[in-house]
């Protein structure tokens, strides 16, 4: 059986790290099994769903490199939900209910006051045909509930949480359809999972009790439920996700210089027993992806850890992967020289300026000026100008360590630190290097 997974965001906002993680894990699960990964846009809420978010979700998945093998939209499938609804109604598994929000609130308060769980009392099921007709004659349109079967415990083997068991009598019959005919999440999702042949539902643990209900829906619709797995939620270091990176969408992360590979590497393993490492090779991440490594405790998302992974990913990136994002003229040698100094790729321009100039002017004392003047004359241009220059100066001046190297770096780049001079000097070029040394020697 082909593994089919799906990512089912509601287009009511931008994706954030929590749902990016769910998308990634579903993608990895499908890729690992050689299966299919579907994007399902859960847009039954016409008021809150926006086309701009649908587009943003697609763009974000593309940026992350999580291309879906198919896309479906719930708003285009309403007739299919209607059919399932009618079938369930005919089977006595959905029923009309007429309570207002206030009535339901009041019932809840009374139950809580009596120390009972606030579960819908199935009042609507006790209405006679006349009472229902009277409600409708008053102009009260019903909303619709799915009738849970109380006879048997609901059980499943959860891919992350292990054996799960729910007593259906402890769950409320969920409202599946509003009085205006619009759909709530629960039934369309189950209907789609069946229609799309989804074999594995992987989502956050906030859906665990929905799963219990949906398992009964699958059965009521005459199918075997898919496999379910619920991962622990993502939290920030101090409980909440941070305002800095944790709550940002892909656009904002990209602007801050976070590479998709860094986000993917981190979210692939966060909350698992595997170490978070700057692995840019997706195949390697997919290879090690395994639901049994997922922990039950909330996964902690730490901005600094993402930055650390990002820096390591940037340092290992090939020129070909970044060429289009570098300043004009910056070639593979320059990228190689500058790369270890970068936190984010956008900083390459600042370092590249050390090659192209102008560089910051520095003041040197008389002694150092004499040394730099000697350096200007000692400069010989060959394949290893820096090594040869420093070797010659060490010999002729007796300087070593910092005294030998720092004034040269300062005169040649205007800075106290930066890329490896052996790589940088050939990029600066002979005449420019000599001019910088002479210039510094003159003070
Ligand atoms: N649209 C639902 C959500 O975003 C989908 C949940 C699911 O994966 O079934 O929570």
pTM higher than 0.95: no
Question: Is there a single domain that holds both residue 310 and residue 191?
Answer: yes
Looking at the domain assignment, is residue 265 inside a domain?
A: yes
Interval 194-238: pLDDT, tens: 999 999 999 999 999 999 999 999 999 999 999 999 999 999 887
Chosen domain end from 156, 177, 198: 177
β-strand 94-97 against 162-166: which pairing, if any? unpaired
Q: Is the pLDDT of residue 65 over 90?
A: yes
β-strand 154-158 against 162-166: which pairing, if any? antiparallel
Question: Is there a single domain that holds both residue 204 and residue 294?
Answer: yes
Say if ligand 1 is within 6 A of residue 16 CB: no
User: Do the beta carbons of residue 359 and residue 408 sit within 8 Å?
Assistant: no
User: Do the beta carbons of residue 143 and residue 97 sit within 8 Å?
Assistant: yes
User: What is the distance in A from the centroid of ligand 1 to the CA of 310?
Assistant: 29
Interval 304-349: pLDDT, tens: 999 999 999 999 999 999 999 999 999 999 999 999 999 999 999 9
User: Do the beta carbons of residue 318 and residue 281 sit within 8 Å?
Assistant: no
Helices 385-397/366-378 angle, 10° precision: 130
Q: Which of 277, 267, 272 is closest to 313 using CA atoms?
A: 277
User: What is the distance in A from the centroid of ligand 1 to the CA of 8?
Assistant: 5
Structure tokens at 58: 């697609």
Ligand 1 nearest-atom number relative to CA 203: 8
User: What is the distance in A from the centroid of ligand 1 to the CA of 212?
Assistant: 14
Question: Is there a single domain that holds both residue 199 and residue 297?
Answer: yes
Ligand 1 nearest-atom number relative to CA 42: 1
Say if ligand 1 is within 6 A of residue 407 CB: no
pLDDT class of 443 with cuts at 50, 70, 90: confident
pLDDT class of 242 with cuts at 50, 70, 90: confident
Q: Cα–Cα distance between 73 and 81 in angstroms, integer?
A: 12
Say if ligand 1 is within 6 A of residue 188 CB: no
* CB-CB neighbours of 153 under 10 Å: 12
Q: Output the residue whose Cα is nearest ligand 1's atom 5.
A: 8
pLDDT class of 245 with cuts at 50, 70, 90: confident
Say if ligand 1 is within 6 A of residue 9 CB: yes
User: What is the distance in A from the centroid of ligand 1 to the CA of 72?
Assistant: 14
User: Do the beta carbons of residue 306 and residue 248 sit within 8 Å?
Assistant: no
CATH code, domain with 386 = 1.10.10.350
- pLDDT for the residue numbered 238: 79
Q: Cα–Cα distance between 154 and 169 in angstroms, integer?
A: 10
CATH code, domain with 136 = 3.90.800.10
Question: Is there a single domain that holds both residue 194 and residue 302?
Answer: yes
177 φψ region: left (φ > 0), alpha (ψ -120 to 50), beta (else): beta
Say if ligand 1 is within 6 A of residue 272 CB: no
Say if ligand 1 is within 6 A of residue 68 CB: no
User: What is the distance in A from the centroid of ligand 1 to the CA of 355?
Assistant: 51
Question: Is there a single domain that holds both residue 296 and residue 204?
Answer: yes
Question: Is there a single domain that holds both residue 147 and residue 236?
Answer: no
Say if ligand 1 is within 6 A of residue 193 CB: no
Q: Output the residue whose Cα is nearest ligand 1's atom 10.
A: 9
Say if ligand 1 is within 6 A of residue 177 CB: no
Question: Is there a single domain that holds both residue 143 and residue 271?
Answer: no
User: Do the beta carbons of residue 146 and residue 184 sit within 8 Å?
Assistant: no
Q: Domain of 260?
A: 1-68+185-316
Measured torsion, CA atoms of residues 209, 172, 87, 138, in degrees rounded to the nearest 10: -140
Question: Is there a single domain that holds both residue 402 and residue 277?
Answer: no
What is the enclosing helix (H) or strand (E) of 166?
strand 162-166
71: Cβ contacts below 8 Å, ≥ 6 apart: 38, 39, 40, 41, 58
Question: Is there a single domain that holds both residue 204 and residue 301?
Answer: yes
Looking at the domain assignment, is residue 159 inside a domain?
A: yes
Say if ligand 1 is within 6 A of residue 43 CB: no
Say if ligand 1 is within 6 A of residue 303 CB: no
User: Do the beta carbons of residue 38 and residue 70 sit within 8 Å?
Assistant: yes
Interval 185-194: pLDDT, tens: 999 999 999 9
Q: Output the residue whose Cα is nearest ligand 1's atom 6.
A: 8
Structure tokens at 79: 């007739």
Tell me what the pLDDT averaged over the chain comes to.
96
Say if ligand 1 is within 6 A of residue 42 CB: yes
**Ligand 1 pocket mutation pick from 7, 20, 203, 212 by most atoms within 8 angstroms of CB:** 203
Partnered with residue 95 across adjacent β-strands are 145
Say if ligand 1 is within 6 A of residue 158 CB: no
The gap from C-alpha 237 to its chain's centroid, in whole angstroms, comes to: 17
Sign of dihedral through CA atoms 410, 414, 417, 420?
negative
Per-position DSSP letters for 183-225, written without gaps between them: BPSHHHHHHHHHHTT--EEEEEGGGHHHHHHHHHHHHHTTS--
Partnered with residue 202 across adjacent β-strands are 229
User: Do the beta carbons of residue 319 and residue 333 sit within 8 Å?
Assistant: no
Question: Is there a single domain that holds both residue 154 and residue 29?
Answer: no
Bond before 358 cis per omega within 30 degrees: yes
Structure tokens at 24: 């990634």
């Amino acid at each position: 059986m082909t593994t089919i997974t799906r990512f089912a965001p509601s287009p009511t906002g931008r994706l954030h790290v929590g749902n990016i993680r769910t998308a990634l894990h579903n993608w990895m699960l499908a890729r690992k099994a050689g299966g299919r990964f579907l994007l399902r846009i859960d847009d039954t809420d016409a008021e809150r769903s926006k086309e701009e978010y649908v587009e943003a979700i697609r763009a974000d998945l593309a940026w992350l490199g999580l291309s879906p093998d198919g896309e479906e939209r719930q708003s285009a499938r309403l007739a299919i939900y209607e059919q399932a609804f009618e079938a369930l109604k005919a089977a006595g598994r959905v029923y009309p209910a007429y309570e207002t929000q206030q009535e339901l609130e009041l019932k809840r308060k009374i139950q809580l006051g009596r120390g009972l769980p606030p579960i819908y009392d199935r009042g609507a099921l006790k209405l006679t045909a006349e009472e229902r007709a009277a409600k409708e004659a008053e102009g009260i349109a019903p909303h619709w509930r799915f009738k849970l079967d109380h006879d048997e415990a609901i059980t499943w083997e959860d891919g992350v949480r292990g054996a799960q068991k729910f007593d259906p009598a402890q769950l409320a019959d969920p409202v599946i359809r509003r009085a205006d005919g619009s759909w709530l999440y629960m039934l369309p999702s189950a209907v789609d999972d069946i229609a799309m042949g989804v074999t594995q539902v992987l989502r956050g643990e906030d859906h665990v009790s929905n799963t219990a209900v949906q398992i009964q829906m699958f059965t009521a619709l005459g199918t075997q439920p898919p496999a379910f797995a619920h991962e622990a939620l993502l939290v920030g270091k101090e409980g909440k996700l941070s305002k800095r990176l944790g709550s940002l969408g892909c656009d904002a992360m990209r602007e801050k210089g976070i590479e998709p590979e860094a986000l993917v590497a981190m979210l692939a393993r966060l909350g698992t027993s595997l170490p978070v490492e700057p692995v840019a090779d997706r195949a390697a991440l997919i290879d090690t992806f395994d639901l049994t490594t997922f922990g039950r405790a909330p996964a902690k998302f730490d901005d600094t850890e993402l930055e650390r992974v990002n820096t390591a990913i940037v340092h290992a990136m090939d020129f070909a992967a970044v060429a289009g994002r570098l300043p004009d003229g910056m070639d593979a040698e320059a990228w190689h020289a500058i790369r270890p100094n970068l936190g984010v790729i956008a900083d390459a321009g600042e370092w590249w300026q050390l090659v192209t100039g102008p560089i910051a002017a520095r003041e040197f004392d008389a002694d150092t000026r004499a040394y730099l003047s000697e350096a200007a004359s000692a400069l010989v241009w060959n394949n290893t100008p820096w090594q040869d220059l420093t070797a010659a100066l060490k010999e002729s001046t007796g300087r070593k360590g910092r005294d030998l190297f720092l004034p040269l770096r300062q005169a040649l780049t205007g800075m106290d630190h930066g890329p490896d001079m052996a790589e940088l000097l050939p990029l600066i070029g002979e005449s420019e290097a000599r001019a910088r040394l002479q210039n510094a020697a003159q003070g």
